[in-house]
A and B are shown apart, each in its own frame.
Chain A
Amino acid sequence: MSTIKLEGSLDVSSIHRFVNQFIDDERSPRSNEFFVDMCSVKFVTPVGVTSLVNLLTYLGKSGCIIIVQYPDRPTEPVKYLDDCGFFSHFAGKPLRPHAKCRSTTIPLKIVGYAEYDSWLEYSVFPWLSSHLGFDIKREWPSFYAVIGEIFNNINDHAGLDDCIASTIMQYFPKKNEIEIAISDYGIGIPARVRKVLPQLHTDGAAIIKATEDNFSTKSTPRNRGAGLHTIIQNTVEINGGNVTIISGYGAVEFNQIWLKGSPLGSAGGIRYPGTLLRLVLRTDTIQREEFYEEDMSW
């Protein structure tokens, strides 16, 4: 049995190191049994939740046995995981009898491509509309488009037997931000990009290439690219938020200063299996659609 002590924050900066404790660069589990000590986890972000869920799901599918130890008196990070539905998802019931989803959270969801539209319609839109005080579906069309692009991208590029992604959304009212984390364990962006551009040296460069307008790996015959480009354009350029893409050995952040992407050093030569997207959208810069129908002039 391999004992793994999780410490500090489970966030973007630690995610590669964290995953690498469980699986190697070829995605092989480092053990058949894991004893996971969560007593020293200090902070968990939405990215940490989705990564942990994908990892444990993957290990479970690989036949591994996982035992999780948590403090007798649940710490704040463990409570957050519990309220997000983490323990209900894996153990069938919450850790604490009174655990419940926080009003600022869209809890953990394993969303298949076929159902994400109804998940948006019946869970995400009402939740966000109630927080922001306007009709998200009608008045913030770019939000709908961004989520759609993310799932299209997963569907086109994951390359696994399923197009399932774990996702969580967190609203931070004081920061005027919505953080969205979505992770899949597909083939990953760099591997796809190298099929058409094998000369690219780094996974970070491959991720940046994938975000260029009109670049497509032609993963499906009709694919013309622009999905990731549209996500970044709407999230960063128009909304003023930021996007982090982690895939393979690459980690790239897109923000107001680095519109075309800046590689992060956090990967440290460790491979992330699949793709993880973190979007931070600002709620104080939303360009609301003045909803009236109009005809388009060419």
Chain B
Amino acid sequence: MVTITIKHLTPRCLNNNDGHIVFDEILRHLKKMEPIEVSFEGVYSTTSSFVNSAFIELLEHCDFERIKSLVRITHSNSFINELIKQRFKSAQQATLAN
């Protein structure tokens, strides 16, 4: 299990650029089929821009089932968890609609 601690990669989790840094790191391990723990330790909140760039863009490289099976979100809070789940749900609905 690889641990990616977001706070070690970016001091804030607010915009697309912040998210992209995390995205690159997750994708690198996803491509190798390695289980990943993404830790939000020390992060209290985030935005849809960050979540879209860090997580939702992964859907362009692998399917949701693989993400669910390999990526574990830890040391988070209910707000961040809900936001991540909402963004995935919306992205899947948008894919179905198109």
- A230 lies within 8 A of B47 (CB): yes
With A296-B84, A298-B85 already in contact, the answer to whether A223 and B76 are too (CB < 8 A) is no
What is the CB-to-nearest-CB distance from A160 to chain B, in angstroms, rounded to a whole number?
Answer: 18
A199 within 8 A of B: no
What is the CB-to-nearest-CB distance from A49 to chain B, in angstroms, rounded to a whole number?
Answer: 26
- A222 lies within 8 A of B80 (CB): no
Q: Which residues of chain B have C-beta atoms less than 8 A from A294's C-beta? A: 76-78, 81
- B57 lies within 8 A of A141 (CB): no
With A148-B14, A155-B15 already in contact, the answer to whether A226 and B76 are too (CB < 8 A) is no
Interface size class of B (residues with CB under 8 A): 35 or more
Q: Which residues of chain A have C-beta atoms less than 8 A from B72's C-beta? A: 295-296
- A293 lies within 8 A of B15 (CB): no
- For the complex, give the distance between the alpha carbons of A14 and B3 in Å: 54
Q: Which B residues from 13 to 45 make CB contacts under 8 A with A?
A: 14-16, 19-20, 40-41, 44-45
Q: B82 — nearest CB in chain A belongs to which residue?
A: A296
What is the CB-to-nearest-CB distance from B32 to chain A, in angstroms, rounded to a whole number?
Answer: 21
Q: Which A residues from 277 to 298 make CB contacts under 8 A with B?
A: 289-296, 298
Residue of A152, A213, A222 touching B47 (CB-CB under 8 A): A152
- B52 lies within 8 A of A226 (CB): yes
Query: B2-17 interface mask toward A, CB cutoff 8 Å, 1 = contact, 0 = none?
Result: 0000000000101110
A131 within 8 A of B: no
A145 within 8 A of B: yes
Q: A153 — nearest CB in chain B belongs to which residue?
A: B49
Q: With contacts defined as CB atoms under 8 Å apart, how many contacts are there between chain A and chain B in the complex?
A: 99
Query: B77-98 interface mask toward A, CB cutoff 8 Å, 1 = contact, 0 = none?
Result: 1111101110100110110000
- A289 lies within 8 A of B68 (CB): no
- B46 lies within 8 A of A224 (CB): no
With A141-B45, A294-B77, A296-B84 already in contact, the answer to whether A117 and B52 are too (CB < 8 A) is no
Q: B89 — nearest CB in chain A belongs to which residue?
A: A213
A194 within 8 A of B: no
Q: Which residues of chain B have C-beta atoms less than 8 A from A295's C-beta? A: 72-76
Residue of A155, A222, A291 touching B53 (CB-CB under 8 A): A222
- B76 lies within 8 A of A296 (CB): yes
A144 within 8 A of B: yes
28 interchain pairs (CB within 8 A)? A137-B44, A141-B44, A141-B79, A141-B80, A145-B48, A145-B79, A148-B15, A149-B48, A152-B16, A152-B47, A152-B49, A223-B16, A224-B52, A224-B91, A226-B87, A226-B90, A227-B47, A229-B48, A289-B44, A289-B77, A292-B77, A293-B41, A295-B72, A295-B74, A295-B76, A296-B72, A296-B76, A296-B80
Beyond A222-B52, A295-B74, 17 extra complex contacts between A and B, CB < 8 Å: A137-B44, A137-B45, A148-B49, A152-B16, A214-B90, A223-B49, A224-B56, A226-B87, A227-B49, A229-B48, A230-B83, A289-B78, A289-B79, A293-B76, A295-B76, A296-B81, A298-B68
